[in-house]
Amino acid sequence: MRSHRTQGPLPTFYHFYPGVPAVVGVRLGERVNFCPAVWNTGLSADPPLFGVALSPKRFTHGLLLEARRYSASFHPHTQAPLVQHLGSVSGREVYKGKTPHFLGHTGVPILEGAYAAYELELLAVHSFGDHDLFVGRVVAVWEEEGLLDEAGRPRPGLALLYYGRGLYGRPAEEAFRP
């Protein structure tokens, strides 16, 4: 294996990919916006806390700070073109709120087609380097039962995987216990 010591930004940082992107949905007044975030993670099961790291450059960043309620949805690989589009244009220039969605119990917009989605209330924001970690408490969950297995997991082969730089994939339909 090759190795090198690092200083400053890495030429190839993304060794933790592929990841499952979450699409963050937010509404401020009549303005709706969607932003994919593959830098996402569960942080606590009880209470259920979910984190997304967003650059302050994202239009969504400011909207979340004001709205303090948002959604995070998980999508089948067939929605890769939509996710790529939402992650390639900014709500500052393009109105992404016309994308088919519905409003959750707390009024947050949730992108159509998800196999699962959270409604979140913003608990804390912490800055780490060039991204800020938005920590949300899950206050409602949506699940498309037909797309999940008996344990609530996405059916093997369904989820969207992101490899970085516009490259997507899907998991194999085979799942196994080692």
Per CB under 6 A, residues contacting ligand FMN are 21, 33, 35-39, 53-55, 58-60, 83-84, 87-92, 131, 162
The amino acid that residue 62 corresponds to is G
Where residue 118 falls (left for φ over 0; alpha for ψ -120 to 50; beta otherwise) is beta
Closest by CA position to 54, among listed 135, 134, 163, 137: 134
C-alpha angle 18-127-104 in degrees, rounded to nearest 5: 65
**What are the structure tokens assigned to 122, written together?**
């913003």
- Tell me the closest approach of the beta carbon of residue 84 to ligand FMN, in angstroms: 5
Q: Give the nearest residue (CB) to ligand FMN.
A: 87
Q: Pick between residue 16 and residue 176 the one whose CB is nearest to ligand FMN.
A: 16
Is residue 59 within 8 A of residue 33, CB to CB? The reply is yes
Q: How far apart are CA 158 and CA 164, in angstroms?
A: 19
Q: Pick between residue 59 and residue 115 the one whose CB is nearest to ligand FMN.
A: 59
Q: Pick between residue 83 and residue 117 the one whose CB is nearest to ligand FMN.
A: 83
- Tell me the closest approach of the beta carbon of residue 63 to ligand FMN, in angstroms: 7
- Tell me the closest approach of the beta carbon of residue 45 to ligand FMN, in angstroms: 22
Q: Pick between residue 44 and residue 88 the one whose CB is nearest to ligand FMN.
A: 88
Q: Pick between residue 83 and residue 110 the one whose CB is nearest to ligand FMN.
A: 83
Q: How many residues does the chain have?
A: 178
- Could you give phi then psi for residue 64, rounded to 5 degrees? -65, -40
Assess whether the previous peptide bond of 18 is cis (omega < 30° from 0).
yes
- Tell me the closest approach of the beta carbon of residue 40 to ligand FMN, in angstroms: 6
- Tell me the closest approach of the beta carbon of residue 93 to ligand FMN, in angstroms: 8
